[in-house]
C-alpha cells in the first residue's frame, strides 16, 4: 500500500521560508528509507547524523527510536522499523526527523488522512507529489568582502507565487563560519 506523508521543515539554521513536501511512500518503507526520501526531497547531501523521535513538539520527546550514540546501531534500528509499525503514533504525538545536530534541522512528519492506495505500475516510490516553497542548504562562500573583512553569505530559497517558484536572496549580517 502507498501512504501520503506531509513533511514540513519546522526549523533550521538556514531556513528562510516555509518548506513542505508531500510525498507518497510504501507503507513497508523503513525509517532509513524515509531519511533518504527527505534528504532527496529538500536537496541535502546526507552528510550529517540524524534521528527520529515522536512527541508533541521537537522539545517533547515521548518516544526515541534509536537511543544510542553508536551510528551503526542506529542505522540498523532505523532500517528495521517500518512506517506501518510506527503509525498510528501514541497520543497526540507527531513523528519528528532531526538532521544535522549543529544546524538543527527539524522536520515534522504526518500521515495524511487520504486513503492508502495500491502502487501504480511504472511509478517509483517514494516520490514527491507537492512542493510548497523550496529549501537550499547550500551557501555561496566567498561573497563580497565587508569593510571589517567579513564576507557576505547568500542564501537562496523559493516562494510559491501563482503556481511557480520564484527565487530571492537574503544577505546575512554578522554570520560567520
Residue 135 has a pLDDT of: 56
| DSSP symbols for 26-86 | ETT-BHHHHHHHHHHHHT--S-S-EEEEEESBTTB-SEES---S-HHHHHHHHHH-BHHHH
| Mean pLDDT, residues 102-115 taken together | 92
Q: Rounded mean pLDDT of 158-171? A: 31
Per CATH, domain 2-112+125-132 is 3.40.50.720: no
Residue ranges per structural domain of the chain: 2-112+125-132
Which pLDDT score is estimated for 139?
37
Confirm whether pTM is higher than 0.75: no
DSSP state of 149: S
Query: CA-CA distance, 62 to 54, in Å (whole number)?
Result: 6
- Nearest to 129, CA basis, from 41, 39, 4, 23: 23
139 vs 1, residue with greater confidence: 1
Q: What is the pLDDT of residues 35-79, one digit of tens each?
A: 999 999 988 888 889 999 999 998 888 888 887 777 888 899 999
Amino acid at each position: 500500500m502507498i501512504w501520503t506523508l506531509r513533511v514540513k521543515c519546522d526549523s533550521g539554521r538556514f531556513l528562510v521560508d516555509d518548506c513542505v513536501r508531500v510525498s507518497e511512500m510504501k507503507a513497508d518503507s523503513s525509517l532509513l528509507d524515509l531519511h533518504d526520501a527527505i534528504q532527496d526531497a529538500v536537496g541535502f547531501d546526507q552528510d550529517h547524523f540524524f534521528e527520529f523521535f515522536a512527541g508533541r513538539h521537537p522539545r517533547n520527546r515521548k518516544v526515541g527510536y534509536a537511543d544510542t550514540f553508536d551510528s551503526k546501531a542506529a542505522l540498523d534500528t532505523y532500517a528495521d522499523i517500518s512506517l506501518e509499525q510506527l503509525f498510528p503514533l501514541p497520543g497526540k504525538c507527531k513523528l519528528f526527523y532531526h538532521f544535522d545536530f549543529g544546524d538543527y534541522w527539524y522536520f515534522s512528519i504526518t500521515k495524511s488522512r487520504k486513503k492508502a492506495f495500491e502502487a501504480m505500475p511504472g511509478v517509483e516510490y517514494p516520490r514527491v507529489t507537492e512542493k510548497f516553497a523550496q529549501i537550499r542548504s547550500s551557501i555561496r562562500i566567498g561573497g563580497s568582502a565587508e569593510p571589517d573583512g567579513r564576507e557576505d553569505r547568500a542564501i537562496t530559497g523559493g516562494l510559491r507565487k501563482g503556481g511557480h517558484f520564484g527565487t530571492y536572496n537574503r544577505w546575512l549580517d554578522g554570520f560567520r563560519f
